[in-house]
Amino acid sequence: MKKILLILSVIGIMISCSDDNDSNEMEIDGTFTHRISDCDNSTNLEINCVEHIWFNDNSSANIMYGGIDYGIKFNYKINGDVIEFITENEPFSFRIESESVLIRIEDNEVWTKTE
């Protein structure tokens, strides 16, 4: 009888400790911005001094960065508290500080939610 209770207890513990990753993932939406430090567009108004990320859905976003004046669509994935954008060139990833603050991993720049 003790063995049956022990087995049932172990089974109960294993079931209650099942892995449920969906409940831990944070959903990111809206627009995040970052002002480029030391940016001066007074001689060329086509240079954009504010970078933007518009999250379209749970796998793609448009990003306007590096002074360009248009957004480029990228796919992304969230691993824990890290957003990894899938790019051909340079790595582009963020640590999720909160629902309204992202920290770019490559240079520690702070991006804040505006919408």
End-to-end CA distance of the chain: 61
Q: Please tell me the predicted confidence (pLDDT) of residue 21.
A: 45
Tell me, yes or no, whether 74 lies in a domain.
yes
CATH classification of the domain holding 63: 2.40.128
Q: What is the 3 state secondary structure string of 81-92?
A: CEEEEECCCCCE
Residue type, 37: S
> What pLDDT, on a 0 to 100 scale, did the predictor assign at position 43?
85
pLDDT by residue for the chain (115 residues), tens digit each? 655 544 545 455 555 554 444 444 567 899 999 998 888 888 887 778 889 999 998 899 999 987 777 888 999 999 999 999 988 877 889 999 999 999 999 999 999 999 7
**Res 74: pLDDT:** 93
Tokens of 97: 């500080």
> Residue 85's beta-bridge partner residues?
76, 92
**How many residues are given for the chain?**
115
Query: What is the tally of structural domains in the chain?
Result: 1
Report d(CA 92, CA 54) in Å as an integer: 15
Whole-prediction pTM: 0.71
**What domain range includes position 88?**
22-113
